[in-house]
Chain A
Amino acid sequence: MANEPSGRGFAQSGADLELVHVTKSFPGFTAVDDLSLTIPAGSFFALLGPSGCGKTTTLRLIAGLEEPTAGKILVGGKDITNTKAYQRPVNTVFQSYALFPHMTILENVAFGLKRRKIAEPLKLAHEALALVELDHLAQRKPQQLSGGQQQRVALARAVVNRPALLLLDEPLGALDLKLRRQMQIELKAIQSEVGLTFLHVTHDQEEAMTMADTVAVMNKGKIEQMGAPAELYELPHTRFVATFLGQSNLFDGQVTGTEGDTLVVSVPGATLHVSAARSQVSAGAITVGVRPEKLEIHRESPKAAGRQVVGPGRVIDTSFAGVSTQYVVTVPELGDITVFEQNDGDIVAVGEEVWLSWSIGHAFGLPIEAPFDETDLSTRALATAVQ
Chain B
Amino acid sequence: MKLGKWLLPTYAILALVYLLVPIVYTIAFSFNDSQRTNIIWNGFTWNNWLTVCEAQGVCEAFGNSIFIASISTLVATVLGTAISIALVRYRFKFRSAMTLLLFMPMATPEVVLGAGLASQFLAAGMPKGITTVILAHIMFCISFVVVTVRARVASLDPKLEEAGRDLYGSPSQVWWRITFPLLLPGIVAAALLSFALSFDDFIITNFNRGAVDTFPSYVYTAAARGIPAEANVIASGVFLLAIAMVLVAQIGGAIRRKKLGITT
Contacts and interface: CB of A to CB of B under 8 A. Distances in A.
Contacts of B170: 86, 115
A324 interface: no
Contacts of A116: 168
A95 to B, nearest CB: 9
Contact of B165 (A86, A140, A141, A158): A86
Interface in B147-181: 157, 159-160, 162-171, 173-174, 177-178, 181
A335 interface: no
B163 A94 contact: yes
Contact of A98 (B157, B169, B171, B177): B157
A364 to B, nearest CB: 41
A136 to B, nearest CB: 11
Interface size class of B (residues with CB under 8 A): 20 to 34
B182 interface: yes
Contact of B163 (A64, A100, A140): A100
Interface in A125-170: 139-141, 144, 157-158, 161
Interface string B49-71: 00000000000000000000000
B168 A86 contact: yes
Contacts of A140: 263-264
A102 B159 CA distance: 14
Query: What's the interface size class on A, roughly?
Result: 20 to 34
A112 B263 contact: no
B19 interface: no
B260 interface: yes
Given A96-B159, A139-B263, A140-B263, A84 B165 contact: yes
A92 interface: yes
Contacts of B173: 115
Contacts of A64: 165-166
Contacts of B171: 86
Given A85-B162, A94-B159, A96-B159, A111 B167 contact: yes
Given A86-B168, A112-B168, A116-B168, A98 B263 contact: no
B258 to A, nearest CB: 14
B177 to A, nearest CB: 8
A96 to B, nearest CB: 6
B148 to A, nearest CB: 19
A84 B163 CA distance: 13
A232 to B, nearest CB: 30
A63 B160 CA distance: 14
Given A98-B157, A100-B178, A144-B264, A92 B168 contact: no
21 contacts: A6-B168, A63-B166, A65-B162, A65-B165, A65-B166, A85-B162, A85-B165, A85-B166, A90-B166, A92-B166, A94-B162, A94-B163, A98-B159, A99-B163, A100-B164, A112-B168, A115-B167, A139-B263, A140-B264, A141-B260, A161-B168
Given A85-B162, A144-B264, A161-B168, 5 more contacts: A86-B165, A91-B167, A98-B159, A98-B162, A161-B167
For the complex of A and B, list the 4 residue pairs with the smallest distance between their C-beta atoms, beginning with the closest.
A112-B167, A115-B168, A98-B163, A85-B165
Interface of A: 6, 63-65, 84-86, 90-92, 94, 96, 98-102, 111-112, 115-116, 139-141, 144, 157-158, 161
